[in-house]
Structure 1
Amino acid sequence: MKHQMAMTKNMRRFLNVVDELMNRPPGTEGMGLLWGKPGQGKSTSVAYACNAMDGVFVRAIGSWTVTSMLGEISVELGGKRQLRRADMIHYIVEQLAANPRPVFIDEADYLFQQVQMIDSLRDIYDLSRAPVILIGMEDIARTLQNNGRFARRITQWVEFEGIDLADARIVADTCCEVGIDDDLLRYIHDESSGNIGRQIVALTKVERMAKASGLASVGRDDWGDRTLFYDQPVFSSRKSKRGE
């Protein structure tokens, strides 16, 4: 598979949103939210946008505290972790105010484990005015709407949904090193329900088979009844008794 970014509608829309946040008129709030189900390409899109726009990227984890979050952001800005939270906030604000860069926080659902993390992030945004984009799962938008002080600062709400067949073609042509015939592409798209992550898995398996078989392109008949995905086995909820 080729390491290239497929410019799907989701990807183009997200890049446009980040650009609008970076170049927003004075007085306009500049926070954004990207959310969606697993496998919709959020993290990949954020990595691309962050690299293209010289952003600051951190990934929240379940064990984060306010100090952990501020330390990670400080390090990404070229600083170091400090004992006092106030000192790190001061450093972060100073750096972002002097050189405005978008701040991307992936797995942002974890931030709501401690309201102080949300409050500290809001302070950083209010004082620096640098764009802050949160990335989370499908329920994060509802969670944020329940936090009025934070939600009112978000002017860009972006949901990543399944890609259509036209975007599936863009993904196949951009990423796959062998040709994918229309009938096989349609089959992959249907079986994956438009989930781009699952489509990449399927295309990787198809490409591997094609190279092993010496095929320049692959159609539905070539693929046959092979499995497209690495799905987990389905187990019965009934526990078997010892000796059965």
Structure 2
Amino acid sequence: MRNDFVKTSNVQRFFNALTALNERGAQEACLVVVDGLPGLGKTTTLRNWVGKTGSIYLRAKKEWTPSWFMNELLEALRVHPPHAFQKKYRKALEELAGRQASAGIESKAFGLVIDEADHVSSKSAILETIRDISDMIELPVILVGMGKVNDNLTRFPQVASRVSQKVRFEKCSEDDVRALIDGRCEVPVADDLLKFIRKVSGGYNREILEAIANIERHGLLNPPGEGGLTMADMAGVTIINDRSSNRPITVPEVLA
């Protein structure tokens, strides 16, 4: 399977939000919330953006404290954390501001991504530390969660007011499934099999990629015709495991 990054409609909405963030009126409104159910490609999208921009990626922990958060931030910046929290904070600001300035010279985006942000979106101390960092140097901070971040932030108006953009990742449409297949699969796939993939995957990227791996494995051993691999070609072959039961789903026989 090819490792190409595919720009689905979710990815495009994320990029549109970043464009809107750069055009914001209030300069302190630097927070972006990316929400959606697990398996819709949020982490993949953000890791791709981080890799291309040199931004900083952190995965929040359930038991994070401001000091623990600051330690992980400095480690991600490849800076040895000082002992005192004040020194950690100043050093993080200095490093982030420097990298942001360097990115600006090259006309590149730069920001801080905090994945699994549901863990910290109800913790005032962590949120205030994040807000302070963002406010001090007008640094874009992207909070990535699984559906609770926006609701939790309503309890903290001083933080919620800094959210400039909200992006919700949705289940893949048929066009998105086609884009993923064309971008990742080394075997052509016919429309009937594509529609079946969309149905049994529920539109989740994770299951669609699992289906692509199984299709490719079968198709490379049994090359399809000109129109691509069909349901008839895949009849009786496992295409994915059911998300709720973990039982295999096979492609049914196609009635003539």
Q: Give the TM-score normalised by structure 1.
A: 0.88
Counterpart position of 2:69: 69
Q: Deviations over 1:205-232 (max 9, x none)?
A: 1111212334474111111133322236
Find the residue that maps to 1:83 and give its secondary structure. coil
Q: Distance in 1 between matches of 2:246 and 2:184?
A: 31
Q: Distance in 2 between matches of 1:133 and 1:6?
A: 20
1:141 to 2:174 alignment: no
Contact 2:70–2:89 (CA under 8 A) maintained in structure 1: yes
Name the % identity. Answer: 27
Q: Distance in 2 between matches of 1:88 and 1:22?
A: 28
Q: Which amino acid aligns with 2:151?
A: R
Following superposition of structure 1 onto structure 2, how do residues 179-198 of structure 1 map, counting pairs within 5 Å? 179-198=188-207
Q: Which amino acid aligns with 1:77?
A: L
Q: Distance in 2 between matches of 1:199 and 1:210?
A: 16
Q: Which amino acid aligns with 1:78?
A: R
> Which shifted more, 12-21 or 181-190?
12-21
Q: Deviations over 1:99-130 (max 9, x none)?
A: 32210000111114642111111111111211
Q: Which residue among 224, 235, 238 is the counterpart of 1:224? A: 235
Closer, same or farther: CA 96–25 of 1 in aligned 2, 3 Å: farther
- After superposition, the CA RMSD in angstroms is 2.0
Find the residue that maps to 2:159 and give its secondary structure. helix
1:127 to 2:158 alignment: no
Closer, same or farther: CA 156–185 of 1 in aligned 2, 3 Å: same
Closer, same or farther: CA 147–175 of 1 in aligned 2, 3 Å: same
Q: Distance in 1 between matches of 2:29 and 2:231?
A: 49
Q: Deviations over 1:49-86 (max 9, x none)?
A: 11222211111122322222111111222312222222
Contact 2:113–2:144 (CA under 8 A) maintained in structure 1: yes
Q: Deviations over 1:86-105 (max 9, x none)?
A: 21111111222333221000
Q: Which amino acid aligns with 1:176?
A: C
Closer, same or farther: CA 194–125 of 1 in aligned 2, 3 Å: same
> Which shifted more, 173-182 or 16-25?
16-25
Contact 1:192–1:199 (CA under 8 A) maintained in structure 2: yes
Following superposition of structure 1 onto structure 2, how do residues 75-224 of structure 1 map, counting pairs within 5 Å? 75-100=75-100, 101-112=110-121, 114-215=123-224, 217-224=228-235
Q: Distance in 2 between matches of 1:99 and 1:138?
A: 31
Contact 1:94–1:128 (CA under 8 A) maintained in structure 2: no
Q: Which runs of 5+ in 2 are unaligned?
A: 101-109, 248-256
Counterpart position of 1:49: 49
> Which shifted more, 85-94 or 127-136?
85-94
Closer, same or farther: CA 40–108 of 1 in aligned 2, 3 Å: same
Q: Deviations over 1:115-170 (max 9, x none)?
A: 21111111111112110000001122211223211111001000000111111111
Q: Distance in 1 between matches of 2:166 and 2:172?
A: 18
Closer, same or farther: CA 225–141 of 1 in aligned 2, 3 Å: farther
Find the residue that maps to 2:238 and give its secondary structure. coil
> Which shifted more, 223-232 or 120-129?
223-232
Q: Which amino acid aligns with 1:230?
A: N
> Which shifted more, 141-150 or 178-187?
141-150
Closer, same or farther: CA 70–44 of 1 in aligned 2, 3 Å: same
